Amino acid sequence: MDQEGRIFFYLFIGYFLIVSFTNFRRARLSPPGESETTNPDLAPVPDQVRYYRRLLIVSVIAFPTLSIWTIDQLNFLESGAQESVEVWAPVSFVYEYLGYWPAALSLPLLGIACCAVFLDKLRKLSSTPAETLKPGPSKL
């Protein structure tokens, strides 16, 4: 490992040590009956809308980016420019057993499915009558 690799490695380890210490401290200071994880369906509707809208935005950015990267890697492999490539393990499994096109289309189809679920959830939340809104604090 060269000098830049060592620096990156130590920064990476330091970051995760700080995050783990912070999360451990938050868990210790929280009341005994309080859960650190939350179910978004139990939050008030405006918080749920923000939560699912945020997931939709991340999906719209991440899935096309990952799809382009994966298709590019699969093209290198198919053309013989590289002997092996690094792709997500499920995509690798699909490529090994089903071939190029199913593997190339797996991430875009997963992205479309995720976006459809988030849009459906947002549609249902926007049509929720005001009397069914649940009051209460939210940690989302």
In angstroms, the Cα distances linking 101 to 43, 71, 97, 98 are 40, 9, 11, 8
Residue 25 and residue 90 share a domain: no
Check pLDDT > 90 for residue 1: no
pLDDT on residue 101: 96
Is residue 140 one of the residues assigned to a domain?
no
Residue given tokens 């700080």 in the structure block: 18
Is residue 13 one of the residues assigned to a domain?
yes
Question: What pTM, to 2 d.p., does this model score?
Answer: 0.68
Burial of 127 from C-beta contacts in 10 A (0-12 / 13-18 / 19+)? exposed
Nearest Cα neighbor of 45 from 133, 129, 130 is: 133
Q: What distance in Å separates the CA atoms of residue 106 and residue 90, rounded to the nearest whole number?
A: 9
Is residue 20 one of the residues assigned to a domain?
yes
Find the domain containing 116 and state its range: 39-131
Q: Provide the token pair at 113.
A: 């499915």
| pLDDT, tens digit, 9 for 90 and up, residues 67-97 | 999 999 999 999 999 888 989 899 999 999 9
| pLDDT, tens digit, 9 for 90 and up, residues 104-140 | 999 999 999 999 999 999 999 998 765 555 555 555 5
Is residue 49 one of the residues assigned to a domain?
yes
pLDDT on residue 130: 56
Residue 61 and residue 31 share a domain: no
Is residue 103 one of the residues assigned to a domain?
yes
| pLDDT, tens digit, 9 for 90 and up, residues 31-69 | 877 766 678 888 888 889 999 999 999 999 999 999 999
Residue 65 and residue 33 share a domain: no
